[in-house]
Amino acid sequence: MGIVFAPLGLVLVFTAAITPQWREGRARLGIAAPGSLLRAGMKGQGMGVRSGSVEALLLLRSDGLWESCLQVEHSELKQCWPVSGPYQRDPRVRLAQGLVLTSLFLCGTGIILACIGFRCWTDIPLRGVAATGGLLVVISGLLSLTALGVYTHNVGRLGVAGPSQGASNPRFPHLRLHAAGSLYFGWLGSCLQVLGGSALLFSFKRPRRRTCLSFPELPVCCVCQSCPEITKISDTDVYEVSC
């Protein structure tokens, strides 16, 4: 369970970290300038914007930890750029970036230690090493959960200059931001990390071995479930008695 859940959680958290869909928002804008770049792009896409008229466009804005994107809905017009401005300088965004990077590093290190501790090519595992790897995986899951919680709690206020603007983006007054799909990948991956690391932590508890009554210091054979002293008994004749 631990050796499967931990890598799966790492992949999901990494996917959430590199995708720009941590929060999304839609805004309806009107195009009135005949020579605007957006109007020219719409003509290039063959969407048939009429000259001199006011057309409404639905823009989709998405932000991640390291990238932001702007796309015209139902078209191929999309532009992405590295995060910048007040959003990049927001201490909560910087905190989430640091926690996610630390979580990925700790989870990768924990998985390596768990693989070394299991030692599938030998009969005796290194339980302490495997359990230490599980502890690192649990810590990484808690760090990513903290980053996701901070970001989700402030999802509409990140990068906003003044408190009077609320959850509205200053460049797009009618843009309302809400949690997006990357957060759900992160939540699922973090929970899998905590579960997988907790399963690996059980390696600290060594299993109890059965011992022989006459020789308590000797373990019971794991194959034949017999005691070593049986092999020391001399051969005896066995008779079958029937009535």
Q: Tokens in use for 203?
A: 């390696």
Q: What is the rounded distance in angstroms from the CA atom of residue 187 to the CA atom of residue 15?
A: 11
Report if residue 218 sits inside a domain: no
**Residue, of 4 and 240, whose pLDDT is higher:** 4
Packing angle, helices 127-153 and 2-18, rounded to 10: 30
Which residues span the domain enclosing 108? 2-204
Average pLDDT, the chain: 76
Count of domains forming the chain: 1
Phi, psi of 163 (to 5 degrees): -70, -20
Report if residue 210 sits inside a domain: no
Question: What is residue 180's three-state secondary structure?
Answer: coil
- 33 near 39, Cβ under 8 Å? yes
Residue 79's DSSP bridge partners are: 70
Report if residue 226 sits inside a domain: no
Report if residue 221 sits inside a domain: no
Q: What is the rounded distance in angstroms from the CA atom of residue 50 to the CA atom of residue 59?
A: 19
DSSP code for 238: -
Q: Tokens 């720009």 identify what position?
A: 20
pLDDT in tens, 181-221: 899 999 999 999 999 999 999 877 766 655 455 445 444 45
Q: Tokens in use for 221?
A: 């054979």
**pLDDT above 70: percentage of residues in the chain:** 65
Whichever domain contains 103, its CATH number is 1.20.140.150
Distance of CA 125 to the CA centre of its chain: 28
Report if residue 72 sits inside a domain: yes
Report if residue 123 sits inside a domain: yes
pLDDT in tens, 55-90: 567 788 888 899 988 888 777 777 888 988 888 888
- 140 near 99, Cβ under 8 Å? no
At 23, which helix (H) or strand (E)? strand 23-31
Report if residue 34 sits inside a domain: yes
Report if residue 227 sits inside a domain: no
Instruction: State the distance between the two ends of the chain, measured CA to CA, in whole angstroms.
Output: 56
pTM of the predicted model as reported, rounded to 2 decimal places: 0.70
Question: What is residue 80's three-state secondary structure?
Answer: strand
**Residue, of 116 and 157, whose pLDDT is higher:** 116
